[in-house]
Structure formats: C-alpha cells, structure tokens
Structure 1
Amino acid sequence: MNASGAGALPKISLLVSDVDGTLVTKDKILTERTCRAVEKIHEAGIKFAITSSRPPSGMRMFVEPLKLETPLGAYNGGLVVRPDMSVISEHTLALPLAKEIIEIINKHSLGVWVYVGNDWFVQSGREQYVEREKFVIKVAPHIVNNFDGIKGNPGKIVGVSEKFELVEQCEKEVQKQFGSQVSASRSQPQYLDITHPKASKGLFIETLLSYFSIDREEVVTIGDGGNDLSMFKQSGKSIAMANGSDELKRQATYVTDSNEEDGFAKAVEKYVLGALVSS
C-alpha cells in the first residue's frame, strides 16, 4: 500500500465509498474482510455511505449486509434515496436533451442504455455487456427498438463499447457539445455515464454534509473511477484504488491496493481506523 500524502487525519465523521471497482471484487463480491471493516467503522461511530452509477435497485443488496443507515447516492448522486428506497432528491435529464445525447452516442457507434427510475432500457441489437450488467444490478432490461416510447425523464444514459477509445472520444464530444447541461464521465473504460449536471458524486458529498451537519474536512472518500474525482475534491482526504486510473491516483491523498486484494478494507484499517488510534 502506497501513500501519496502524509499526516494524521482530523476528526473523521463520514466515509463515502464507490461500489464497483472499490467496495466489491471484479466478481461483485463483498469479502469478509470488507464486511468486518465496515462493521468496525460503525463501532467507531463513523457514518458510512455508498455512491455508484448504479440505479437504486442495484444498490439495495448492500443495505442489509453492511447495515447501512445513511442515504445512498444512485446514478452518481443524481438520485439520492434512503435505505428503504424512498427518495430524498432527484435530478434527471429532460427528454429533448436526452434524445440529442442518444444521437451523439449512436454517431460514435456505442451501445445505448437509458435508465428511468429503476427501469433499464436497451436498444435491440446493441446488447453488449448487458448480461454482466444484469448480474451486477439484479435487474432485467426492457429491450426496445428505439427510445421514443420511454415515459419519464432519464436519470442516466450510458454509452457502451468494448472499444475504449470510442468511449473516450464520445465523452469528449458530449462534454464539448453540452457543457454545463450535463455531467459526463467514464465510470469504467467501457461505460460513459451521462447524467444531470447536479448528478455528481461531489454534489452527493455536499448533500451528505448538509444532511448530517458535518464539515468537509471530516469526510474521507474512496474510489477507482473518473466519476469519483468530483467527490475526492469535496472531501478532507481521498483514497484511490490501485486498479483506478492514473489521474485519480495522482489526485488522491493515498493509494491503496486493488479491489482484488482487499484494498478497501486495508485502506479503512490503515487510513481511517489507524488514524483514530494515532490521533
């Protein structure tokens, strides 16, 4: 485990974690060591919250094993729910804007996924990575010929491709064309997540700061993806996974081991619980 920063942490009131690539293994498993680490966080009086690009239904399975009592940030914080799935706040994409986004994704030959609430829509014939996503979020998609019949504003649109360079190119064009109208970042090399501009993990941190009346310096965040950078910037200390991007690791206070090496649990033990002992 490497550290890119030094010094004891101040008071720690809240730890916020990404899910995929951070909290769970590549096979989407919560290890025993991870569960014990979260249990110790609770015992230390530290609040623990999770945020993800997943829909709320794809986060429900963590509530019981991790004994979550804090809000959950679904769709990168665009939909904030309580552990019972009741809605606290929601930011969605207007349908006219969503249609323009879909056109650009199609132009780059990426698959398109559209999420409305807990419903997931996939265009027929463009079903790459669908089976894996079904396994991850425990929800079956609605297969549609097009997205014209969708009712309700999307919480998230995803561009999908195994050609990572196309995903990166599409990300740049969406950011350039829509600017502050959207938040666009890659949660994984194959996934471009596009949400409302107020749907970011950084703004989820701000929601929690207000919700619990705590200071930013009392927050520790941990993640692996480009969409985690915004929450790193809103926390007192940040921890990047070894399997994360080079840019994220450069921005982090600390770097822990990968999600295949219990990096989350090791980070909690050393940088969160360990800091309490040394302070």
Structure 2
Amino acid sequence: MIKLIAIDMDGTLLNEHHLVTDKVKKAIKEASNAGIKIVLCTGRPVQAVYEYLKELEMPQDEEDYVISLNGTVVQKTTTWEIVYSHELDHKHLVEAEKLIGSFEMNFTYFDENNYYFTGEPTEMMHYDVNLLGMEAKHLPIKEIPKEMKVFKAMYVAEATELDRLVASLPPFISENFYPIRSLSYVLELLPQKANKGEALTGLAEKLGFSMDEVMAIGDGENDLDMMKVAGTSIAMGNAVDSIMQAATHVTRSNQEDGVAHAIYEWALKG
C-alpha cells in the first residue's frame, strides 16, 4: 500500500508551460484525501515552490514536507523549519568557481531562499532565473559571509559550452561534490551526501514508512537516486533513458497528465 508519493516538479508535475493541470490537481487531492502523504521533491529552491504548494493546497499539517535543492534541504511546509540539510564548504566553492576560466557561463549558488551568481549574467542564467520566478543577486564567492549556509551550486551555460566544461573537470569536483547534470544547461554541485534518494529515505523513516510504501515519480537524471530507493518508481513518458530503465512502471508524459495517471494506476487503484 502506498503511503507517500514523492513527485518531481519540472518535466513531471509541471507541463511544458510550467503549469499543474486540473487533472493532476484532482488526482493529488484524491490521493491526499485517501491518506497518502504528497511530497514535492525538486531541484528548485523552496522559494520557487511556494506558489505550487498553495495551488495544490498542500501545507495541511505539521507533518507535511518539501524536499528542495535536489535533496540538500527538507522543510516543513507549515513553518519552513529545516529538519534535514547538508551544506557546501566555502573553500571548495572558491576552487570550483575558478574552473569557469574563459568559459561563457555563470557560477551560481543557493542559500535557503536566494539565487546568487558570480561574473557577468548570461542569457542562460537569465532563462533559469525567470523559470524559477526568482531574482538573482550578484555576490562574489569570496564575499560570502562566514555564517551563510550554501546548499547547492551550479554551472549554468549553453549545452555545448557546458559539455566542454564537463569534459575538462578535474578529480577535485567528484572528490568534494556530488555533481549531477540535472538539465542540458545546468551542472549541479551538491554536498557529497545529498541527493533526492537520501532525503526521501530519511523523510520516510521520520514519518514511519518503509520504502516499500513509497512511490517516486520523475523524469530527469537528478531523480535517479529517489527512483532507486522507492519501492514503486514511476518514469514519466518524457523521461530520459536512465530513468526509464530504473523505473518499475512508465506513465504518460507531462503533456498527458502523467502524474495523474500514475496516481490512479499504482497508488489509488490498489
């Protein structure tokens, strides 16, 4: 019996217009009414999740949570208390930013609520900021206050430019970060122990659920860890090959209300 459903946002919950369709809203509400815990599990910072939580009427009680920044932060949706987090070392951020060199890209990073960047803003960075509905703040790495917690960093660039960077990355990156290509134009640097799978496992344990009672729905490389730990894993019809191969089931695409189909077929039908 499914007791918790973890749902990715971009490419999964949201269609190509970044909207939650009425059919998906209805399915989520029915699952919630049936006693199933719904948890958004996203690479977005929590500030870029607020409006969707309100739209889905999800902040219901003290035991409702959101997993943000690809598993580096887990927060209550009622008080925004952080119950789980991993952060990056400032010294490692300084070294990672140096790798940009002559590449046309931005080095960006997040604390709990803000999107920061270094260098001159590129078109791809503006696209990413607009997608999240946020305002980017310029703050050089060496000027980060000592007390500021940084949960995730990113290289943001056109896909071909990012390919060049990825091909030249030194061992330092994998030794000190958990790197993941979440989008064609984004390479994320997470704390080594942080990913959606670790966060989802910890949250399920906190709520008293076994992983056999957890369903995960996703489409991208950054969803792979949660797909591997969930007892029931659903690949969207538009998912990348690695997600298709890891999933126990495949639903329709995000253009065809795939999340709703998954909820009805593998969570509520049983």
Quote the Cα distance in structure 1 between the aligned partners of 2:216 and 2:264. Answer: 14
1:207 is aligned to 2:202:
yes
Match of 1:91 among 63, 71, 86: 86
- The partner residue of 2:71 within 53, 68, 77 is 77
The corresponding residue for 1:7 is none
Unaligned runs of 5+ in 2: none
Q: State the AA in 2 paired with 1:47.
A: K
Deviates more, 1:177-186 or 1:11-20: 177-186
Q: Which residue of 2 aligns with 1:3?
A: none
| 1:149-195, Cα deviation, whole Å (9 max, x unpaired) | 12223211111122x24435545665843335321112211111111
Residue equivalent to 2:16: 26
Q: Give the aligned CA root-mean-square deviation in angstroms.
A: 2.0
- Which one of 144, 149, 153 corresponds to residue 150 of structure 1? 144
Counterpart of 1:45 in structure 2 is 35
Kindly indicate whether the alpha-carbon contact (under 8 Å) linking 1:49 and 1:72 is maintained by their aligned counterparts in 2: yes
Query: Cα distance, 1:127 vs. partner?
Result: 2.5
SS of the residue 2:254 aligns to = coil
User: Structure 1 residue 197 and structure 2 residue 187: aligned?
Assistant: no
Matching residue's letter, 1:177:
F
1:1-279 alignment runs, 5 A limit = 11-69=1-59, 70-83=64-77, 84-106=79-101, 108-144=103-139, 146-151=140-145, 152-162=148-158, 164-168=159-163, 170-171=165-166, 176-274=171-269, 276=270
Q: TM-score, normalised by structure 2?
A: 0.89
Structure 2 residue identity aligned to 1:149:
E
The number of residues matched between the two structures is 263
Q: Quick one: distance in 1 between partners of 2:124 and 2:103?
A: 17
CA distance in 2 between partners of 1:48 and 1:91 (Å):
23
Instruction: Give how far 1:109 is off.
Output: 4.1
Whether the aligned pair in 2 keeps the contact of 1:23 and 1:30 (CA below 8 Å) is: yes
Distance 2:239 2:68 in 1: 20
Letter in 1 for 2:37: K
CA distance in 2, matches of 1:180, 1:212: 32
Structure-2 change in CA distance of 1:68 and 1:251 (3 Å): same
- Aligned-partner SS, 1:233: helix
Alpha-carbon distance in 2 for matches of 1:172, 1:264? 35
Q: Distance in 2 between matches of 1:113 and 1:125?
A: 11
Structure 1: gaps (5+ residues): 1-10
Secondary structure, in 3 states, of the residue corresponding to 1:72? strand
